[in-house]
Structure formats: C-alpha cells, structure tokens
Structure 1
Amino acid sequence: MIPAAKVFFEEVRAAYAVTANSLGLSGPAEDERVIPVSTYKGGGVDYQIGLDPREGTVECSVSIAKESVTLTASIEDLALATGAVELRGRISYSARNLKQLRKSLLGQAEYVRLVHPILSDSAAEDLMRQAGAREWSKNAE
C-alpha cells in the first residue's frame, strides 16, 4: 500500500534531516495540492521530492532558476552528469510500501549530498544542461 501524504512528509523529513543540515538547506516546504511534494532550498538550488501515488514512485528533481530560464533535472541524471556517480540504476524510485519508500528516499538524499557542492559553483547551468534538464523560459517584461 502506497504511504499517505502525512507518512510521506514524515519519512522525507527523517531521510533528508542529516543531508539538509550538513548542506545548510532550508525546508522542507510541504505541499499536496496535486501530489505530495517536499521542497528543500539552498545555494540557489531547489530539491523537490514528490510522491506519485498512482505510479507508486518517489523522485527528487533539482531546479535552478537563472535570470532568463529555469532548469529542472532528475537527481540521478544530474549525479551522472557531474560525475558523482558512474552508473545509472543505483538508486530506487519505488514507494509501494514504507520499506521501499525509505530506501528510495535515503538513496536520493545521498545523491543530493554528492551533487549539491558541485551545483554551488558557476558551472551549475552547464551541468544542468548536460544532465538533460528541461528548460522553461521566463517571460521578459
């Protein structure tokens, strides 16, 4: 059974506590308007951890907002692009039960710990593009 939003938020806080504290990330901001999402922020980078109850998955996406564009990539794609990890498939996305959710959250939090220091420098935008980030242009007014 896929965990409810309340349990999801509790598990995200537990899994990301050490990582968020050591990296100086603020959060989590929690929202469940569409799907349950917890967001941590720091150094111009947003980490959104979302639970998809229909698919039974959890995924961390990374966003960087620049002057003219917002870039978003999955944590695994970014970890590969930065060289923090060498092989795809080393983390789990499953959240069909509490045990799987915890495993997935801990693995993804570890990737955040590895990637965040690399994203804090001026090469972050290039790294996001190397990771195949989706891009949204900001409207010029």
Structure 2
Amino acid sequence: MARRKVNFFDEVRTAFAELAGDLRLTGPEESERIAPSSHYKGAGVEYRILLDVMEGTVSCDVEVATDTVDLTADIEPLAIAAGVVEKRGGISYSARNLNQLQKSLRGQAEYVRRVHPFLADPATAETLMRKAGAREWIRRDPS
C-alpha cells in the first residue's frame, strides 16, 4: 500500500481554511526560507505556523505589532491568559507523522479561533500578549 506524501503547506491550508474565512484572515503566505512556515494576517495580528522538521513538531506563534513594540507569543499561553482554556497540555505539537500533524494543526487552529477576538481588539491585544509572557522587541524609529 502506497503511503501518502505529506505536504505541510497543504495540511496547514486544510486546517486553517474555514478559520481564515470566518476571521477574515489573509494568507497563507508560505516560505521554506529557514523552516517551513505559513502565515495568516488580519486585524493587527499575525499567526505563524512553523514546522520544525528536526524535532518533529509544529507550532503557532502569534505576533502583535504596536506603534512601539512587536510582541510574539505561542498560541497556548495566549489561550490560557485569555481564559479560553484552563491549563497547559490541551493541544498537541507533535508532527512526526500525518495523523499527528493534522491533529496538532486542528487543535492550534481551534485555539486561534478562541483567542482571535481578544487579539483583534487593540484595547486588549497588548495586555493579553504581555500576560501570556510574550517576547518583546522595541520598534526602532526608521528616520
């Protein structure tokens, strides 16, 4: 029996298609520059789905840019900080085979659906990112 070849980008598009439409996200922008990644954007937030082929994992990083800082956090701490899930361990990151990849992408897409309303609102996005322990970079004045 022939095994189906796994295409990371196809699997991300499948897992995020309905979500992207519902949340009016643009994308995906796809790249294999450093690692396979797929990006969706909308309402001042960017979701980056990254495949770590060495570790056999997939993750969803979230970036919010303000006038002064860029904030980046993983989707699970954001979901916990937003109060839409109770504890760590609710989603999978494993991507060692097709079933694991699909399960992980579906779970992470569901967390995006839950946190997006908080991140799309400029009044709550920065506070939520900080509460989730986001990494922070100060924006430089381009002049």
- Superposition CA RMSD, Å: 1.3
1:89 pairs with 2:89: yes
1:75 pairs with 2:96: no
Q: Which runs of 5+ in 2 are unaligned?
A: none
TM-score in terms of structure 1 length: 0.95
TM-superposed deviation, 1:64: 0.4
Write the distance in 2 (CA, Å) between the matches of 1:14 and 1:127: 28
SS in 2 for 1:35: coil
Q: Which runs of 5+ in 1 are unaligned?
A: none
List 4+ stretches of structure 1 deviating above 3 A.
none
TM-superposed deviation, 1:120: 1.6
Mapping of 1:24-103 within 5 angstroms? 24-103=24-103
Percent identical across equivalent pairs? Answer: 60
* Alignment-mate amino acid for residue 133 of structure 2: G
SS in 2 for 1:123: helix
Mapping of 1:99-138 within 5 angstroms? 99-121=99-121, 122-138=123-139
* Alignment-mate amino acid for residue 53 of structure 2: P
Counting matched residue pairs gives: 138
TM-score in terms of structure 2 length: 0.93
User: For the pair shown, which has the larger CA radius of gyration, 1 or 2?
Assistant: 2
